[in-house]
A and B are shown apart, each in its own frame.
Chain A
Amino acid sequence: MAEPMEEFEQELPGEKPANTSTDNGESTDQQSMDSQTLSAVLQFLRKNNLKGTEELLRKEANIQENPENASNTDQDVSSVLSAYTSEGDPLLYEGQYRNLMSFIGSSLDATKCELAQILYPVFVHMYLELVYNDHDNQAVAFFSGFSDEQESYHEEDLIKLSAVTKKCHMRHSELMMNFRTSKYVIRMSRDSYSALKRYLQDKQNNTVLNILEEHLYIDVFDGVPRNKQQIDSKAGSIVGEAKREANKGKIYYGLLKEPDINIQIDEDDEGGEGEDKPKKKKPKKDPLASKKNKPDPNAPPQTRIPLPELKDADKLERLNAQRELSKRVHLGTDNLPSICFYTFLNAAQSRLISVDVSNDSGLLAAGFSDSNIKVWTLTPQKLRKVKQAGALKEIDAEADDVLERIMDDSTATDQRILLGHSGPVYSTSFSPDRKFLLSSSEDSTIKLWSMHTYSSLVAYRGHNFPVWDVQFGPFGHYFASASKDRTARLWATEYHQPLRIFAGHLSDVETVRFHPNSNYIATGSSDKTIRLWDMNNGKCVRVMTGHKGPIRNIIFSPNGHYMASTGEDKRVLLWELRHGNLIRELNDHTEPIYSLSFCQDGNVLASGGLDNCVKLWDVKKIFTETEPDELSSTPAVVTSSASNVLLGSYPTKTTAVYNLHFTRRNLLLASGPFTA
């Protein structure tokens, strides 16, 4: 599509303007919600034991718990559901749905695909209406009659839906409640919309009209109707596409200025730490550093998010990292990375779940379903504990090598076990300075471990449900977690309470990732959407739909402009952040993908998962191809052919790929458990 179009948003007659989206962050928009819905939500939260959320919601919406309200709650829920009350003859539903289908079938080719979008939500709501009004048999007949007509990517949800066959079931089904509490968003062109409106008025198709008014939100835009491919690439989420205005806000996707670290480093220090690095290399490094220090126009203000002061040791660390980076192999089509695969043997018994490799590629942590965490060293440097307090006293604190002296050589070992969780460890994450390790577990806690003493330092309790994912921020200090309680939370290591709670996903938040500039976090959820949240104000700034299954992993490109995501739908989707548009879909995997990794220069993307295969993609090509399109805010046609960008496919024997990690020199480390 050519030009950015003016945004039109037309609401159907009868729709209450008060019914604002839940998309834009429940936490901020609560006041405008009508109190009935709000209390129903509260009730729902209570029912599902989401106490933390409930409390927060209460706090934010300024609702005091009053006993009357509590006693009336049952009524409230039913009043939410009562939207489904209908006097319509159950026998009419099938006919009306069939009419709608035939109308869409006979409509113009240009608008057909857009109109077909409403079939699925109308089907779902008609079915739920039938169920609600106790027309059990008709409901089942209706379902079996038309469920096969729906798009294949709705199948999973339809299975869930098919379990709901009784009115009393409705309030227990999470999916059902999602349909009820949020409007299904459909975007269509004005042409399609007017065609639809004409049809509904002509035919007096009241049931469909009602559903459109009550449960659907039609986002109308001017312009050429989209084709099937465009629609399909955006569809799949539980509640339809993202609304247009959801992705309007400006975000700072540039990188932060690299702190100036050169001047503070003593020559002596460098000589000590940098081993036998010749001095003459130093001038070479300077231009590189200065180039990096050019301010990025898209970068956020340096102090937008307060970051901890860099200590001398941190600066040294940074310097080493940069030095390593400058020695990296430049990857490309004719220069593919080497892959080193770390296979976990005998991991079938205790079930490996998650793997993480530290930034400097020196440590590897693995979470197991028997609640253990194991840490391995990947370098000759052994894992040593800090000496006992008594011994530490004798060390001269002023000595240059004090960090070396405090280590107890007698404890050196290749592997350490961290015990403390009481449920499967779903995720681990090293801090950038590799001094700490975070782990999240089924026991709904996040634990911080010291890599000096190999013991647990803090248990962050806040989530009330299993914590699926945790990740350290790119500069340490902050970390984010994703939980089954449908929230993602931002924490700082020094507070036991979360700093931000990001609520808005309609189902489990599966994964969370920091933007490289530490100003945003991205979350992927079972509701098949990806959201980008502003850490500063907790607002959701991007909603990305297009995945057809729960999202398993997200990763940002090193320059912060792009994002890759993957999930149970076996595809990798590439997004650009400026407008939140889908750029490319990569589908060559045959099983769910667990891991993604960009190489250090962002030219190559590696993906791997359950199909025992590591695949490399030439994303540089894709990004350069899409560069011109970036100017327009309309999504380009998304091609899904994988062949011309697939650089290589490297199967393992029977080892699923759980983690991929590019070292600073662009060696790819993969890991996974061998299954006999």
Chain B
Amino acid sequence: MAEKEREVKGCLTQESIKVIGECVGVSSLNEEAGTLLADDVTFRLKMMVQEAAKFMKHAKRVKLSTADFDHTLRVQNIESLYGFSTEEHIPFRFASGGGRELHFVEEKELDLSDIINSSMPKIPLDVSLKAHWLSIEGTQPAIPENPPPVDTHTQKVESQDALRTKKPTAKAEKKSGKGDMGKTAATLLAKAKGLTSDPVKLKGVLVHELSVEQQLYYKEITEACVGSSETKRAEALHSLASDPGLYQVVPRFSMFIAEGVKVNVVQNNLAILIYLMRMVKALMDNVTLYLEKYLHELIPAVMTCVVSRQLSLRPDADNHWALRDFAARLMASMCRKFSTTTNNMQARISKTFDESLSKDKAPLATIYGALVGLAELGPEVMKTLVIPKVRMLGERLRIMTESLIINNPDKIAADHLKQLVQKHCAPYLKGVRSTPDVLHEYEEEFGYLGPFLFSHVTKLRFQPSTVTTQCSSTLTSSRPMITIPQGRPSTIITSGRSLSSSGFSPKTPSSLYSPTGTGLQRTFSSSGSGSTPSSQTKIVLVSATGSGRSSAQTSPVPSGSSTPTPSVFKLNPKSFSKSLSSSLAPSLASSLASSLSSSQTIVMSPTGTVKAERKSPPATASAGGTSSTNMLMSLAQAATMQTPIRSSSGEDHTQGS
């Protein structure tokens, strides 16, 4: 605004004139003359700049250049200033001293021979013309030449909007109205409005239909990503990482990944887990996407791959360490990208890792994961959370190695842990500790690992390049029990919640009509197949719909012993859970929950309604709902098949109400 410009009093002072005068050899300039000159020069400069702005505007630029000024001078019959032509602005340097402040243009002395002897600069590329379709009969094709349909900034604003304000549904309606929101959506919306009579305005359920092309794309990509052909996978991942038009499909991919991880961690299918993590990486790499809205699904998935007790069927032979490393790096990059003071993501993630790390009974693989996860988060986290634990860790390793009944997997795990400590702690210590490394200081501080660290730090000091140890295959930890590491779901769910809080329901594929559902089902039935039908069907349904407050509580708090086998499956089939919640009162739900806890079939929804469903989906559920229920069942079956059910002493935690 001009007001701002006017505030900045652009005028030369009498001092400036004096300095300039001195430069050209006029030393005795009296004050009055100086003031007069300053006024006049200011005026003339302003006139010039106004004229030069015309040249700038005609050159269709927004930045005034020296060439514009030259043209202005020419127009006014004044000789141009030679030697000041540059594309970029010439920065002023500032100097002060002796009570005088001075802005000046730095003129470096150039050695001509340097210029002559230096290699010729590259010839700039010639101007060329390239054609593409900006629009085809009114619709903009999603090709790399065109901007993504919804740019990352809008996506960001959108996700923050949902956080900050309770936007009336009208906006959401308008948004999707641009796409293809059918009548069904409108009716659903009306229903949603009727349901939520409370003052907290919920965003209406949006039905988002994918075009046939998008459905095909989804199918092809998911199949390629988890399929057997490596070339196809590479292509698919490249598409995920670079395609600008993915905005619409991302929720489905996010869902696919989240569910895929859940199933495959149970099945210890290391390969699929790796593929899924690569998908996450690809999505993260796509500059046109802003994934914040999907973090509540992605973070749990990634976190699982970092700290899960067991990730492969043959923990002793497979290199699941690499997956943990990879996932930890992913997690760290997510933190860097999305952590803000509001969502406090990094703190929460590091807390989760820390909890896993400090648990006495945690298997070494989990500790490894937690450690690498923390280490990737940066030196500050290293300092506060990792370094103090090294001693304890060393103690544990000592006990393990010194005990007589050490088994092979444990030994390998211990080796890996040691390598990890060396890889991350040694460079860090090298950086922070003062040079004379004293062995007994190390021993004092780090206990068992002290000498080990000492030797590596000293080694590092001599060789500049860090040696990265490549951990090659091994066996792993212990129990054949499948546990999704404790503490994980709580963080994740809360984070997911608060990000998309206050009744905003993320567009998740489960609420979609058939295509996605079938896609998911297909893929999963192949990967998570072979499950023998079990009589004990367990469905734990944590729906994503609902307000932030309630959902924050929803997460089962697996505080140690109370949850024996938290085979928790989160899912957010909105239409599904909505119909559930509409059909049942909260009170009934809680009683149901407790009664069901014996048979371990729990359905939770954050809105406070809990219901268990054996088989048939509710009548109102859409096709998507049905398929997702089916899928859920198969997932649950898969889980129960392998999970030894230990009847717990305590009740299952359902904080539904």
Contact = CB atoms under 8 A, between A and B. Distances in A.
Contacts of A594: 60
A622 to B, nearest CB: 19
Contacts of B58: 353, 424, 426, 466, 468, 510
Interface stretch (B23-31, B122-130, B434-442): B122-130
Interface in B121-144: 124-138, 140
Interface stretch (B46-54, B407-415, B501-509, B649-657): B46-54
A353 to B, nearest CB: 5
B244 to A, nearest CB: 9
Interface string B46-73: 1100100011011111100001000100
A648 interface: yes
Contacts of B405: none
Query: Which of the four size classes fits the interface of chain A?
Result: 35 or more
A484 B398 CA distance: 86
A340 B59 contact: no
B128 A339 contact: no
Given A158-B2, A466-B71, A338 B147 contact: no
A64 interface: no
Interface of A is mostly: mixed
Contacts of A347: 127
A169 B76 CA distance: 16
Nearest to B140: A650
Interface string A607-619: 0001000100000
B137 A336 contact: yes
B361 interface: no
Contacts, number: 147
Nearest to A377: B129
A640 interface: no
Interface string A463-491: 00110100000000000000010000000
Given A163-B47, A653-B145, A341 B133 contact: yes
Residue from B77, B129, B134 having most chain A Cβ neighbours under 10 A: B134
A342 B130 contact: yes
A368 B60 CA distance: 11
Nearest to A552: B57
A352 B39 CA distance: 37
A519 to B, nearest CB: 28
A343 B127 contact: no
A205 interface: no
Residue from A484, A508, A658 having most chain B Cβ neighbours under 10 A: A484
B135 A172 contact: no
B79 interface: no
Contacts of A164: 43
Contact of A156 (B2, B47, B76, B138): B2
B5 A159 contact: yes
Nearest to A658: B60
A160 interface: yes
B235 interface: no
A426 B71 CA distance: 13
A156 B57 CA distance: 14
Contacts of A468: 58
B445 interface: no
B32 to A, nearest CB: 14
A376 B140 CA distance: 26
B134 A442 contact: no
B2 A159 contact: yes
Interface string A275-293: 0000000000000000000
B71 A340 contact: no
Interface in A38-65: 49
Nearest to A366: B127
A345 B39 contact: no
A340 B140 CA distance: 11
Contact of B133 (A159, A338, A568): A338
Interface of B is mostly: mixed
B377 to A, nearest CB: 33
B134 A648 contact: no
Nearest to B132: A341
B432 interface: no
Contacts of B42: 163
A374 B50 CA distance: 30
B114 interface: no
B2 A614 contact: no
B145 A343 contact: yes
B75 interface: yes
Nearest to A426: B58
Given A155-B2, A159-B5, A508-B54, A169 B130 contact: no
Contacts of A453: none
A580 interface: no
B1 interface: yes
Given A155-B2, A614-B134, A346 B39 contact: no
B146 interface: yes
A465 B77 CA distance: 11
B54 A484 contact: yes
A169 B40 CA distance: 8
A346 B75 contact: no
A147 B57 contact: no
Contacts of B146: 651-653
A369 interface: yes
Contacts of A510: 58
Interface in A541-586: 550, 568
A172 B43 contact: yes
B171 interface: no
Contacts of B77: 49
A482 to B, nearest CB: 11
A652 B147 contact: yes
B6 interface: yes
B402 interface: no
B3 interface: yes
A368 B58 CA distance: 11
Contacts of A346: 124-128
Residue from A343, A415, A594 having most chain B Cβ neighbours under 10 A: A343
A535 B247 CA distance: 55
A369 B67 contact: yes
Contact of B43 (A165, A423, A610): A165
B75 A648 contact: no
Contact of A168 (B40, B61, B75, B125): B40
Contact of B127 (A169, A340, A352, A651): A352
Given A172-B47, A343-B130, A147 B67 contact: no
B128 A341 contact: no
Contacts of A658: 60
A572 to B, nearest CB: 17
A339 B40 contact: no
Interface in A339-380: 339-347, 349-353, 364, 366, 368-369, 374, 376
A69 to B, nearest CB: 22
A335 B67 CA distance: 45
B132 A343 contact: yes
B43 A169 contact: yes
A594 B60 CA distance: 8
A550 to B, nearest CB: 7
A23 B5 CA distance: 33
Contact of B75 (A165, A466, A652, A671): A466
Contacts of A90: none
A658 B60 CA distance: 8
A76 to B, nearest CB: 21
Contact of B135 (A156, A648, A656): A648
6 contacts: A160-B50, A165-B43, A340-B132, A341-B131, A349-B127, A426-B58
Given A341-B133, A343-B129, 18 more contacts: A49-B76, A164-B43, A172-B43, A335-B138, A340-B131, A343-B130, A344-B127, A344-B128, A346-B126, A346-B127, A346-B128, A349-B87, A424-B58, A614-B134, A651-B140, A652-B134, A652-B147, A656-B60
Interface of B: 1-3, 5-6, 39-40, 42-44, 46-47, 50, 54-55, 57-62, 67, 71, 75-77, 87, 124-138, 140, 145-147
Q: Which 3 residue pairs across A and B have the least CB separation, nearest first?
A: A336-B138, A155-B2, A163-B46
